[in-house]
Structure formats: structure tokens, C-alpha cells
Structure 1
Amino acid sequence: MEKNQLGLPHPYLAGNFAPIKRTRRLTRCPHTGNIPKDLAGGQYVRNGANPITNEDQGRDAHWFDGDGMLSGVLFHRTGRNDHEIEPYFVNQYVLTDVYLNAKDNRNLRRPFLPSISTLVSGSLVSIFLAVTRSILLVVLSRLPGSRRVVKRISAANTGMVYHDGRALATCESGPPMRFQLPGLETVGWYNGQRAENEPYDEGQVGFGGKGPTAFMKEWTTGHPRVDPVTKELISIHAVFFKPYVFYSIVPPRSRVASKNDGLLRPIFDAPIPGIRSPKMMHDFGVAARYTVVLDLPLLMNPIDCVSGKPAIRFNATGRSRYGVFPRYEPHKIQWYETNQCIIFHTANCWDTITDSPVAETCVHLVACRLTSASILYSAGGLSPPTPKPIPPEYAEEEQCRLYYYCFPLVADGSSERPMIRNQWALSAIPFEFPTVSPQHAMSAARFVYGCSMGSPSSYSAALGRAAKIDYIAKIDIEMLVARGTADPPQQIKGCVDKRTIVEVMQSADVNDPIKLFRMPEGWYAQEARFVPRRGASSEDDGWLLTYVFDESQLDERGECGEKAVGELWVIDAKNMRDVITRIHLPQRVPYGLHGAWFAEEDIASQRAVEATRRETREEELDLSSPLSRLRDLIEKALG
């Protein structure tokens, strides 16, 4: 395995992947086209990694590394008329402990935390040195002269969710971080009961509880789910010690039980039994009555370094296990086992109950299934390790496809073994970053939207290249699941719709289950989020919002100049052809991760805050004490 040594910039530190240096408060933007009235008063925000410490361009780096940056467009309502809308752009760093410690710290040339590239490819020595450096920086943060004590190591750079009056930025290496809409100011860490800088601190214990393991048990998935009906926040917490995964449910305050009033009660850190080792668990599935956890052979265990193995590695001959349990009873989990794969993102999950011909409950999961860990390497500018020979029954071509699972539940008291009934791809086109209409999540949503690529390769880009999105896809999963159920393809390796992107684009069928929006030549998109039309006539009656970038702005070295700008496009989700609105941004938005739509009522109903986080000014630091000078010397040595 070799790193890119062609003298080229790291593919995920160059072009529009490169971090942006400027932040802006709400800034009015020009636009082309008519802004749909359904967007009035709301805000689209996208999260992503944007390392504040970026001087060492030759370091290990990864697309998933870096400090969280929020980039948003507010559709400001200027009058009572819904058509009087003015867009405003804003971008701000998430002021985590790590960011506040590193900001303006001239001693640091590399990011505070180890790169994922180091963890997936490094030797025992390199991983040990990287982890030790971060531990020493955490210790040094407690000495005089430090800009911030680092109590939590999360970069809060992955996803976003709105729950019970709080907008939350997420990352699985820590608890969620609350931020304020529409200015994107950072409020503080959220523990499931309260966020820092909120009034009414009653010392309530939430995620993680108390004790020596609390700091790790509060680590929350990058993709917690909010039930659109009950408004509960459902999350998992993956750790390095048994039972390896914990589970939490946080009801909204209006539905929290006080005694025996029949309302909902929070669940914090309930153990999920049956998981045998620590895993990288980025996502999970939640249906109206059931939850699905993914125990896949993507191992994540720093102790493996002692035996010369990477801290993060994929076992290509391992097994994938899916644990299904009633939402409030994780101890009743049923395990389903099948061939190895990786799933970073689930699209939707729902359950069905039938009475005929026999009474049966099934849980259904649609997810983006990868057949290898290549994306973990390519997103770090690395070539994947040479695969070892595997048995033919496990061998599959390199792919990332939208995939369907059906899990029939075994009745209580039955000795029957849980078995997966259906497991096959719905389409052959590459598919990632899935989203559905929020109102239809956790139920049998008909449409899934996502990102695709027109090149014949999968999402695992070749060494020295970066995966870029040139198609937005809309897949009618209801139609394809019905087609696959009536005429099942081969289990595991089969596919319902085997057409390529070129063949799909050639289709003139108005009822085609796959519709594609193709970006203009040289333009690339990001994850798209669905916003419904008011009084929608169908599930897909609404808009897709995505940041886009025209790469003709890159110079001959493939770099962005200071004047490079991006746009936010509003696409008609029903016909997947028309760009209704183009918001012209004052700067570019780097290719990033996940976004969210916050409706006008979400912004208006945010909980009160007493303060927001801020950067420490130079004059507030104690730089003259002996301990401060010692800290300064050690930080310079660590670099």
C-alpha cells in the first residue's frame, strides 16, 4: 500500500475539497429564477470537515478529517407575501473544544486529532505516535496559556438533526453539539437532557451517565434519527468495551412522562446484547416500531495495532449481522447473518404487519451497500491493500448500490432461527448519500434520493483522484421492491434493475422507476435534501436542495482561487429536470458531507440560550507563567 507520491496535492485537500479560509455572517445573495414559497423563512444547512490547521500539506489526511463547518442559506421572508424572499448565506465553524484549542495556535502545523488515513493504513509506530501526540495535546490543554481545555475530542463535522427546539451537529466521537439558527453560532455540547449555555441546569445525567467510562459512552452516532410522529430522538453509542454498543431514546419535553401518565420515558445507555467486538458503526435503521443495528465486519479497535493490524480494517471474509429489536426493548434483539459488506448510510427503515396467510411482522431496510472498504482508502488518497483470496461465495464486484433487506421476525418462544427473506440490490447504478422525504421516514416511503457518478467506476475513486457527484438520482423503491418480490433476483449478489446510468438516461418512460438529474459538464453536486411543497399532491411533490460548484474556476494546478464561488440549486424533485432557482453564493462551499432543512417553525421554536461559545482573545491568556512557557515548548515540539 502506497500513498500518493506523484508530487500532486492530496486529492481531498485540493480543488473544491480544499478547506475554505473565510467565514461570513448572514450575507445577502443574488439569485436567478423564482424561489418557491415553500422555502420562505426556512434554512438549508450543510455540515462538513474544514481543517483549521492545514499548513502541513504532506500530512496524512482524509475527507472525513477536520473541524466541522456549517454552511447555510436562509430564505429570509421580507414581508407577508410568500414571494418576497431574500436568500442569505452564512458559514461558521462549529466551536468544539478541539477547534477552540487549535485556532490561532501557531505551534500546531497538523490537525489536533489523528487522521483516519493513519488509522486505516499506518504502522504500529505511526499510529502510536499520532495517538500519543493527541493525548499529550489534551493534557497540555489544561495548562495555563491554553485557549481551551479539551474535554471532548469530537469535531462535530458529520451530520445534523433538529430535535425538541435544538439544532444539533453530530459526529460519532462525541455527543451532539447544539448550534443556533439562523446565524449558526455554537451553543454547547448536548447530553440528551440539556445543552451547555442553556438555562435551568438541574445537573441531569444523560448520554454516558457518570463514571470513568462516561466520556466514551456519550459518543453518539453521526446519524441519530428523529421520529416524524413521536418526535423522539433515537441514537446508538459505539464504544471499545463490552457490550460495545449502547442505545438511547430522548422524547420531546412535551411528551416526557412524570409518573404513570402514559407518556414517553427517556432511555439512556441501554446495552445492546450480542455484539462480539468493537466496530465502526456510522449509521443504523429506525422504523416506527423497531430498530436495526448493523454489526458489520468493519473493525475499529486500537488494540489491534499491537499485533501489527490497522486500527480500522475490513474483514473481507467476515460476516454481516443485523440486529432487529422492538424500539423500547433492545434486550429482545434478533440477529440475522449474511455475507460481508459495508454500510455507511441507511436510506429508510419500516415495518409491516400481515394477517394472511399467516400473522407475520417484517422489518424492511433500504441502505447503500458497499462490497469493500475501498472508499475508506481512496478518501484518504491511499491505494487499498491488495485483497487476499476469498471463497467464491463471498466474491462480488466492486460496487456501491441501493440495497433492500427484508427481516421476518421470529415469534416469541419459537426455536426458529432468524433468516433474511430478501437481500438484493434495487439498481445497478452507483448510489450514496441517500435521503427521503422527512415526513415519510420510518414508514414505507416510495422515493429515495441520492448521489451518483457517471463514470464506470464505483464510489471508490482511483488513487490520486477524488469521487465527484455529477448525477442526482431518484429511485422508486416501492416499484422496484414489488418487482423484485414478484420475480426475485439472486439473493445477495442479484439486482432488480441492471441498467447502467447511460441506459437509464436513454429511457423515455415517464413511469421509469429511476430518474436522473445530470449536472452540466464540469459542474458537481453534493448531497441533496428534499423539502416538500405545501399541500403536496404526492410524496415527491417538492424540491431538492444541493450545493454545486463549477470546476472551470480551477486554475491549471487544479486549485481554487480566492474568488471561486459556488451556488445552491433548487431542483424540481417531481420531474428531476428543472432547476427552479440558483442562489449565487459569495464564496464556494467545499464538497462536504450531510445537510438538513430547518423549517421556519423550527427556527422560531428554538429553546432559549444564555450564551454561545466564543474564541478566547489573546489578552485573556496567561502566557507568562512557567507552566505556560513549558506548554508552549512542548506544543512546538509536537507540531
Structure 2
Amino acid sequence: MLEALAEEQVSVGEGKNHRHPYLSGNFAPVQRTLPLTPCTYTGDIPEEFAGGEYVRNGGNPVANEALGRDAHWFDGDGMLSGVSFQRLDEKGSIQPEFVNQYILTDVYLSSKTSSSLEMPILPSIATLVNPLSSLITIILRILRTIALVILSHLPGSQQAIKKISVANTAVVYHDGRALATCESGPPIRFALPGLETVGWFNGRVSEGEAIQDLGTGFGGTGPFSWLKEWATAHPRVDPNTKELILYHSTFVPPYVNYSIVAPTYDRASRKNLSSQTRVVNTAIPGIASAKMMHDFGVSRTHTVIMDLPLSLDPLNLIKNRPVLEYDPSSRSRFGVFPRYQPQEVRWFETNPCCIFHTANTWYSTEPSVTSESCVEMVNMLACRLTSASLVFSAGNLAAPISIQQIPAHLQEEEQCRLYYYQFCLSPPSGAHAPSNNSIAHQWALSAIPFEFPSIRESVSMSSARYVYGCSVSGTSFGAALGRAVKINALVKVDVATLIERGIAGPPHQITGCVDTRIIDEILASQDPKDPIKVFKMPDGWYAQESRFVPRKDGISEDDGWLVSYVFDESQLDENEDCNEGAKSELWIIDAKTMKDVVARVHLPQRVPYGLHGNWFSEEDVQGQRPIESIRTMPALKSKDESPSPAWKTWMATRKIVAEWLQ
């Protein structure tokens, strides 16, 4: 039985022409990087775009010769793809320019200087999560990575690997720095608009900056400091205080630490301010094991940590269990605490689920808006999956049988929807009051698939009215084995209206839904006040995550535009591969009506389907901290014309070891 499943898995994983679905089509990595390159466009680019830049991150493996290997959508070296809207004159003339650059991480630089490398240095997530991967296979992949890291520190190497992050997930702007993020390391700074890599950011200063007050940053000191500096791929920046809030998920107790970085740079004077109160690597109590935490919730007063039944623990190998494991019989736990007091965390429990992205979190005390039975609460909107199947399908793997063996009373249909949670902090006394640490409300706002959420940044951490996201027709984000899920619809949800409806007539807790329509029914609606609006892509076109750009003097919260990279798959050949001339576009869509494409920027090459992006305003671009140096490829070391016999022997041995590890 197991052998038959293994053969079936191999046949599905290899796919057409032995090409992995996440290494082919417009998921395939691009081989060319471009400096700022002028683009043509059609339509009218709004004047608010002048001087700003849209940048999107994503994995683009540089060592990609072994196309039949294990692969996962979340793998790959970080590549930034941006469109800078250059201001040509005071009249508002705009010239869009495309640029894409690899993030020069230690792993990338080591890969580029290893001439015979055919597979990525880091093991694929697909290998680690595959229920059919043998224990010995996983151990050998991990030992190979460790050996390559050690080898990079020995004589004859051009680049030492000090941090294993590939920085391929998201981008954020904080305190004069544009930062690229990933879970396996600290943020790394890059420059706008050219996207050059500056260096690792430790919570105090970035490499490449003139002031090198490295001090004690993320991780602190000690043998596990390198592990404790790993930061969430989704840090949050408070639009009011400008604080950077993030957590550090590790493999060692207390498993999750928490940091707040206060702003220390004055844009106007271009000077550093005196250091303010910081929270650095403060333990969050109550988490009993290593977890895969991808996101969290942050309001202006409280933070929400998610302890879900998805573990990420190398020690699982000792128990002959997958490194990444989902337990459908366990509970999901949400830890809510005041922003500056993680030690006061309160845990709220509910049915098992997976959440990779939260949309917004806010604090409220108004029963008329929230609930008559709770007078103080933290509200959160999140994209809730009923299982961890997305982790497996994004690697073209069948989900393990254990995911399907959910107790009958916990079984739900496979879906990913926008959910509303209300955590009651101070319920009133009385016979009908909710119990302490109760989730007063938890249900879906809409029945349609919903992921990659975003909102207008200026209203984040407050009760924002609108949430934008991505959807798919005829499938879900967690399903597609043997083919890659592609986004063919962008969605705008009036969450305030749907929350109000849900509280007035609460759906069934956990499994209930306020608006039960499918996408086609929403598209057919003629109601101008419909709380859900869908921008459907033309047939054969697919979008990526969208970001909101506000109108300068807009009155309403949704007065602005969405930007998204799009791709026309009619450019694929009969084998569903992209030719060298395939190109993408950047669409600017009216966010109020969700109908009109006001401008289409024609890019000089394609942008692979990737992960998360961000809009950087002209103020952000011009307000960057000074940079003293940027990262570059290591210079080739000149050969010694008369090397010693010992050096010759070492280099010959080193070459044999390196080739064996490839």
C-alpha cells in the first residue's frame, strides 16, 4: 500500500515533462534581472503614484537545474520585483520603470559562488513535510545543508553563510528602512527605488549604514542567539506610533519571543533621535512546543499570538514524525495581551484550524458595534483554513491521511474564508455572561475563498471598513493537487457591514457564515451597496496579491486604487512553459468600483507568481536613512601563482567534498 502511494506521489509530483507545477509556467523562476527600465503604459496613471514604488517579494531559486526535485511555492531565493513611478516634472508627468533584483542573502551569494551547485542549499519545504519522505532522506537533506554551511566558513570559500534566511516572503517599511522578511532569519534592508541589498537589520541598525551601533539586537547573546533572531515574515508597523512589532518563533523554550522597535530617525532633519523604550526578545509564556507561526494580529493596544496545531520541530525526527506536522485532533489557541505586557497573555481556545494571514486587528468597547454581552474586546479578521492542506498542495503533495481523520464533531468542509473573531476581555457579570477567556464570535463573513488580505495602511489596527483580498473560482486555496492554484479574482469586502449583520443575527459559531453566496452570484448582483465586490480577471489572465494606494484628498476609506501584477497565460506553449519573450503587466484598478482598470503598465519581462508586496510612497522613498555601502557579489580572489602543496591538497579535497554535496 505504501509503495503504491509512493509511486502515485512521484507521478503526481513530476507532472508533465517531469516539471513540478511550482517550477513551470509563470511559477517558474526568471533568469534575468533588470535595473530601472522605462516601461510603456496605457490609460492614465493617477498623480498620487508619482515618486512612489510598488515592490513585491517572492521565491526565485537561483540553483534550479534539477527540475524533477522536490519543490514548494515557499522555497527559493528572495527576488524583489518593482515598478517605480518616476516623477518627471512638477506638472505631474510620470514614467513607470521596472526593476527586479535578487536579495543578496548569505545563501544566495554562496550559491552563486558555488559553480557546481545544482540544487538549493536549503532543503525544500516539500521534503520536510512530505509524509512519504523517509527519515533517512530528511536527515540527509538537513546534514547536506549543515555541511554546506560549514564548508562556506572554511578556507577557499568566497561567502560564509552566517544567516540561512532567503528573505523571500514580504516587504515592509519602518523608520527609514525598506525591509525584506522571512521566518528563518532577521529582516534584511534594501534600497528604493533600485532594490539594491543593504544588509541584515538586527533591531537597532542595518549593515551598510554609517552608524554601526550593533549593540544587543534581536536574539541577544548566548548559544541560541542566532535562532532567536529569526523574525516573523509579517511584522506590523503602527501607523500612529510608527513602532515595528514582531515576534520570534524558535525551536527552543520559551518557543516564542516578542519585540517592539521604536522609531529613532527623524526624516525632516535626517538625524537619529535618542533611543526610546524597546521590548526585545521578551518571552511569551504558555506555548509548550515549537510551532509554525506565520502571522499574528496587532491592534493599537493589544497583540494576538496564534498557537495553532501546526508544529515545526526538528525534534519530531527523533519520534519518527514529520518535521512539520498538523494535528487535527488538537486545539487552536489565541494568546491576547496588552502590547507592552506579553507576560499578561490570556489564552482563548477553539477548534483546530490553520491561519497564515490576518487582515486586521482592533480593540473596541462599543457594544452597539460589537456585542451586548461583552464590554471590552479585541477583534480580529483572518483567513482561516480548515486544515493544513495548503502547506502540502503548495508543494504538489497529497495531504497526509491524518488530516482527513478528524473527529466527527470537528469535521468541516475544506475551505479558506475571511473569518471574524471577537475575544472578550472583560465580560459583564451575570448568569448569561460569556465565560472568562471566551471567544464571543467566530464565523466567516463570506463563503467565497479568500486569501492574501490587505487594507489601507493608514486605518490598520483600527476598525477599518474594507478588506481586499484574492479569490479563486471553482476551487479553494488548499485543494489543488497536481496543479497550482492561480488567482483569477480580486475581492473587496465591506467587513463593517457584514460584522454588523453577523452580530445582529449570529451565524453558527465556527462553521457559520454571514454571506453564503458564491462568486458568480456576487458578480450577478446589481446592488450598488453590495458589501462584497469582485473584480474578475479576463479568461486566461491571473493576478497576484493586490495593495491599496490612497487618493491624496479622498473622502472615503476606499477612495484609491489597487495595484497587482497580472499575467496572460495565452503566452504559455503547448507544454505550459513560458518562452523567453513572455511578459507581465502591472494593473492599476479603481478600488472604489472594483470594475475599471485605469492604467496598464507593460513590463519588459514577466514577474513570476509570488508572495507579498507593498506600496512605498514618495515620502517613504525620499525619507530613507543614509546608506554607506550595499552588498555586492564577492570579488574573485586572485589565484596564487605558487600555492603550497598543503594548499593544493586542501583545495583538491575541498572540491571533491563540494561536488559530492551538490
Deviation at 1:254, TM superposition (A): 5.0
> Which residue of the partner structure matches residue 323 of structure 2?
311
Inter-CA distance 80–339: structure 2 relative to 1 (3 Å threshold): same
Deviation at 1:454, TM superposition (A): 1.0
Distance between the aligned counterparts of 1:198 and 1:477, measured in 2? 42
Structure 2 counterparts to residues 323-338 of structure 1, below 5 A: 323-338=335-350
Inter-CA distance 358–16: structure 2 relative to 1 (3 Å threshold): closer
Distance between the aligned counterparts of 1:521 and 1:415, measured in 2? 49
> Which residue of the partner structure matches residue 178 of structure 1?
189
Question: Given the alignment of the two structures, is residue 189 of structure 1 paired with residue 200 of structure 2, yes or no?
Answer: yes
Give the SS at the match of 1:481.
Answer: helix
Structure 1, residues 345-396: CA drift from partner, whole Å, max 9, x if none? 0000000024897883200000000011111111111111224532222100
Give the SS at the match of 1:484.
Answer: helix
Inter-CA distance 162–622: structure 2 relative to 1 (3 Å threshold): farther
Deviation at 1:263, TM superposition (A): 9.1
Aligned length: 632
- Counterpart of 2:438 (choices 400, 419, 422) is 419
Q: Is the 8 A contact 2:210 2:628 kept in 1?
A: yes
Question: Given the alignment of the two structures, is residue 236 of structure 1 paired with residue 247 of structure 2, yes or no?
Answer: yes
- Counterpart of 1:488 (choices 496, 506, 527) is 506
> Which residue of the partner structure matches residue 80 of structure 1?
90
Pick which of 73-82 and 358-367 moved more: 358-367
Determine what percentage of the aligned residue pairs are the same residue: 55
Distance between the aligned counterparts of 2:656 and 2:180, measured in 1? 34
Distance between the aligned counterparts of 1:620 and 1:385, measured in 2? 52
> Which residue of the partner structure matches residue 45 of structure 1?
55
Counterpart of 1:408, as a letter, is C
> Which residue of the partner structure matches residue 158 of structure 1?
169
Runs of 5+ unmatched residues, structure 1: 256-260
Distance between the aligned counterparts of 2:339 and 2:552, measured in 1? 31
When normalised by structure 2's length, the TM-score is: 0.93
Question: Given the alignment of the two structures, is residue 365 of structure 1 paired with residue 380 of structure 2, yes or no?
Answer: yes
Question: Given the alignment of the two structures, is residue 432 of structure 1 paired with residue 451 of structure 2, yes or no?
Answer: yes
Q: Is the 8 A contact 2:113 2:159 kept in 1?
A: no
> Which residue of the partner structure matches residue 113 of structure 1?
122
Give the SS at the match of 1:503.
Answer: helix
Counterpart of 1:330, as a letter, is P
> Which residue of the partner structure matches residue 375 of structure 1?
390
Structure 1, residues 316-372: CA drift from partner, whole Å, max 9, x if none? 111000000000000111100000000000000000024897883200000000011
Counterpart of 1:369, as a letter, is R
Deviation at 1:619, TM superposition (A): 3.8
Give the SS at the match of 2:23.
Answer: coil
- Counterpart of 1:578 (choices 596, 621, 625) is 596
Question: Given the alignment of the two structures, is residue 25 of structure 1 paired with residue 40 of structure 2, yes or no?
Answer: no
Distance between the aligned counterparts of 1:341 and 1:521, measured in 2? 33
Counterpart of 1:178, as a letter, is R
Distance between the aligned counterparts of 1:389 and 1:373, measured in 2? 13
> Which residue of the partner structure matches residue 126 of structure 1?
137
Question: Given the alignment of the two structures, is residue 91 of structure 1 paired with residue 85 of structure 2, yes or no?
Answer: no
Deviation at 1:203, TM superposition (A): 3.4
Structure 2 counterparts to residues 236-635 of structure 1, below 5 A: 236-253=247-264, 264-354=276-366, 360-386=375-401, 387-410=403-426, 417-455=436-474, 457-619=475-637, 625=647, 626-635=649-658
Deviation at 1:548, TM superposition (A): 0.3
Q: Is the 8 A contact 1:144 1:621 kept in 2?
A: no
- Counterpart of 1:211 (choices 204, 222, 225) is 222
Q: Is the 8 A contact 2:373 2:428 kept in 1?
A: no
Deviation at 1:409, TM superposition (A): 0.6
Counterpart of 2:122, as a letter, is L
Distance between the aligned counterparts of 2:35 and 2:652, measured in 1? 35
Deviation at 1:630, TM superposition (A): 2.5
Structure 1, residues 177-204: CA drift from partner, whole Å, max 9, x if none? 0000000000000000000111121331
Q: Is the 8 A contact 2:373 2:427 kept in 1?
A: no
Structure 1, residues 595-614: CA drift from partner, whole Å, max 9, x if none? 00000011111111111000
Deviation at 1:537, TM superposition (A): 1.2
Distance between the aligned counterparts of 2:398 and 2:382, measured in 1? 25
Distance between the aligned counterparts of 1:320 and 1:159, measured in 2? 25
Inter-CA distance 262–186: structure 2 relative to 1 (3 Å threshold): closer
Inter-CA distance 312–620: structure 2 relative to 1 (3 Å threshold): farther
Inter-CA distance 77–460: structure 2 relative to 1 (3 Å threshold): same
Give the SS at the match of 1:614.
Answer: coil
> Which residue of the partner structure matches residue 258 of structure 1?
none
Pick which of 478-487 and 373-382 moved more: 373-382
Give the SS at the match of 1:630.
Answer: helix
Inter-CA distance 15–363: structure 2 relative to 1 (3 Å threshold): same
> Which residue of the partner structure matches residue 270 of structure 2?
none
Give the SS at the match of 1:125.
Answer: helix
Distance between the aligned counterparts of 1:621 and 1:432, measured in 2? 52
> Which residue of the partner structure matches residue 269 of structure 2?
none
Distance between the aligned counterparts of 1:262 and 1:23, measured in 2? 39
Distance between the aligned counterparts of 1:13 and 1:480, measured in 2? 39
Counterpart of 2:292, as a letter, is M
Counterpart of 2:661, as a letter, is L
Distance between the aligned counterparts of 1:87 and 1:379, measured in 2? 33
Distance between the aligned counterparts of 2:428 and 2:608, measured in 1? 50
Q: Is the 8 A contact 1:378 1:463 kept in 2?
A: yes
Give the SS at the match of 1:430.
Answer: coil
Q: Is the 8 A contact 1:145 1:622 kept in 2?
A: no
Runs of 5+ unmatched residues, structure 2: 267-272
Q: Is the 8 A contact 1:622 1:628 kept in 2?
A: no
